[in-house]
Amino acid sequence: MRAVHFGAGNIGRGFIGALLTKAGYQTTFVDVNDALIDEINEQGRYQIELAGENESIQVSNISGLNSAKQKEAVVDALAQADIITTAVGPNILSIIAPLLAEGLANRSTPVNVIACENMIGGSEQLKNHVLEQAKSEQKENILALAGFPNAAVDRIVPDQTHDDLLTVKVEPYFEWVVEKTAIKGDQPEVEGMTLVDDLTPYIERKLFTVNTGHAAAAYLGNYYGHETIKEAMEDSNVLSKMQGALQESGAVLIKKYGFTEAQHQQYIDTIIQRFQNPDLSDLVTRVGRAPIRKLGPKDRLVRPAVEYLEWVKETPEHLAEVIAAALLYKNQDDAEAAELQALVEKEGALGALQQVADLSENHPLLTAVDEQLKSFA
Ligand SMILES: NC(=O)c1ccc[n+]([C@@H]2O[C@H](COP(=O)([O-])OP(=O)(O)OC[C@H]3O[C@@H](n4cnc5c(N)ncnc54)[C@H](O)[C@@H]3O)[C@@H](O)[C@H]2O)c1
Ligand SMILES: O=P(O)(O)OC[C@@H](O)[C@@H](O)[C@H](O)[C@H](O)CO
């Protein structure tokens, strides 16, 4: 069995690649990072360390291709793959789409393409990019043979600091949930992948709890001078503000999906313990990366805040505070953070938020964020 996985980065090596290999796939990593691809081909294996546990996992049966330099080989690999996965970041999906279109157009058997990105409807969005960029004669085959099941992916994999390029340290916890109804052909059998009929409660619970909490820890942590998520969690002020944001996003999730309060609180408590893992050093700059994406209308801050106004009919003060902290986030090494600050300079913080979050001019969330911005001043 063959797998093609786009993105040999943290989650690609630290999670998806490992599960695919364990399930018996020969995994081809596709990336644009030459050094990573060369090392994968040279070593043919790598090691995963489990944070806080004296255990490591060997991943072998792997190879690598550079998608910028070995397009034909990537297209061939896609045409022959039994499963295709991605973990490249939401903004890269449109970039890998033409290669996918070509590879999928050359197939004669069904295959599933699973985008393992932190976003709602990631595989569906990838499918749209593929169809938009496919030649007209390619579309029929793609539509007939390629399934694009959406997925929720959860495992904290920080940026790596080992001497060798491939070793990756991850938290022991993981969850990979995939939408069963969108699968074409045989269901993939991957231990650790859970197939469900309706992905929505899973992806919303994950994105609006794990990632909402993480973003709160990153932006508030950064504002109060912390470098890592663990440090931010040791600051009782940041911790209690984050808990407030999670109570707000949780109130919406409970109303929408019928989780009990006790169940949801247990989910939140587990996540906070994961953030506090003493053996995991995760920088606020990684977790806060790409703040324009994170302030998007369907993402982890604005969507639960807007839904709190709609479902609970109260002001989401804590989520608004995190949004305000995100608007104040400065990091010249992060292209989106620099772009956001340039927009804030030009339009003001609320004007910038209105644009990136696609809010109407008089949206009550703008007033709530304005109040919080004043408290930061
Ligand atoms: N790290 C985590 O804790 C975590 C957990 C769950 C989900 N995710 C999601 O996984 C995705 C990847 O995150 P990450 O943390 O692994 O990031 P990362 O930066 O470590 O990895 C991304 C990889 O994609 C590669 N890439 C960039 N452009 C490419 C292209 N055109 N073709 C092929 N490869 C390309 C990069 O070179 C890099 O190796 C994101 O959507 C993220 O939200 C991350
Ligand atoms: O990957 P992002 O930029 O969407 O979000 C940063 C982190 O919150 C994220 O990578 C988490 O570590 C991950 O989602 C945990 O499952």
- Please indicate, yes or no, whether residues 134 and 118 belong to a single structural domain of this protein: yes
Per-residue pLDDT reduced to its tens digit, 138-185: 999 999 999 999 999 999 999 999 999 999 999 999 999 999 999 999
- CATH value at residue 205: 1.10.1040.10
Distance (angstroms) between ligand 2 centre and the Cα of 171 equals 13
Stretch (H or E) spanning 314? none
- Please indicate, yes or no, whether residues 224 and 305 belong to a single structural domain of this protein: yes
Q: Can you tell me which atom of ligand 1 is nearest the CA of 154?
A: 6
Distance (angstroms) between ligand 2 centre and the Cα of 210 equals 8
Total number of residues shown for the chain: 377
- Please indicate, yes or no, whether residues 300 and 213 belong to a single structural domain of this protein: yes
- Please indicate, yes or no, whether residues 242 and 181 belong to a single structural domain of this protein: no
Predicted confidence band of residue 54 (pLDDT cuts 50, 70, 90): confident
Pocket test for ligand 1, best of 5, 13, 30, 31 (most atoms within 8 A of CB): 31
Distance (angstroms) between ligand 2 centre and the Cα of 215 equals 9
Q: What does the pLDDT read at residue 78?
A: 98
- Please indicate, yes or no, whether residues 59 and 113 belong to a single structural domain of this protein: yes
Q: Which residues, in sequence order, are bridge partners of residue 115?
A: 86
Q: Using a 6 Å cutoff on CB, does residue 299 contact ligand 1?
A: no
3-state SS class at 191:
coil
- Please indicate, yes or no, whether residues 254 and 335 belong to a single structural domain of this protein: yes
* Beta carbons within 10 angstroms of residue 370's beta carbon: 15
Q: What mean pLDDT comes out for the span 272-282?
A: 96
**Amino acid occupying residue 344:** V
- The domain of 219 spans 201-376
List the structure tokens of 182. 């969108």
Q: What mean pLDDT comes out for the span 329-353?
A: 98
Is the alpha carbon torsion for 201, 203, 204, 209 positive or negative?
positive
Per-residue pLDDT reduced to its tens digit, 195-220: 999 999 999 999 999 999 999 999 99
Number of domains in the chain: 2
CA 365, CA 282: separation in Å to the nearest integer?
30
- Please indicate, yes or no, whether residues 179 and 238 belong to a single structural domain of this protein: no
Sheet of strand 45-50: strand arrangement: 56-60, 45-50, 168-170
Q: Can you tell me which atom of ligand 2 is nearest the CA of 282?
A: 12
Q: Which residues, in sequence order, are bridge partners of residue 28?
A: 4, 63
Q: What does the pLDDT read at residue 26?
A: 98
Q: Using a 6 Å cutoff on CB, does residue 245 contact ligand 1?
A: no
Predicted confidence band of residue 30 (pLDDT cuts 50, 70, 90): very high
- Please indicate, yes or no, whether residues 320 and 207 belong to a single structural domain of this protein: yes
CA 65, CA 18: separation in Å to the nearest integer?
17
Q: Using a 6 Å cutoff on CB, does residue 87 contact ligand 1?
A: yes
Kindly state the greatest CA–CA separation across the chain. Answer: 61
- Please indicate, yes or no, whether residues 173 and 113 belong to a single structural domain of this protein: yes
- Please indicate, yes or no, whether residues 147 and 176 belong to a single structural domain of this protein: yes
Tell which of 198, 228, 258 closes a domain: 198
Nearest-CA residue for ligand 1 atom 19 is 9
- CATH value at residue 171: 3.40.50.720
- Please indicate, yes or no, whether residues 157 and 36 belong to a single structural domain of this protein: yes
- Please indicate, yes or no, whether residues 167 and 207 belong to a single structural domain of this protein: no
CA dihedral angle for residue 301, residue 306, residue 312, residue 317, rounded to 10 degrees: 50
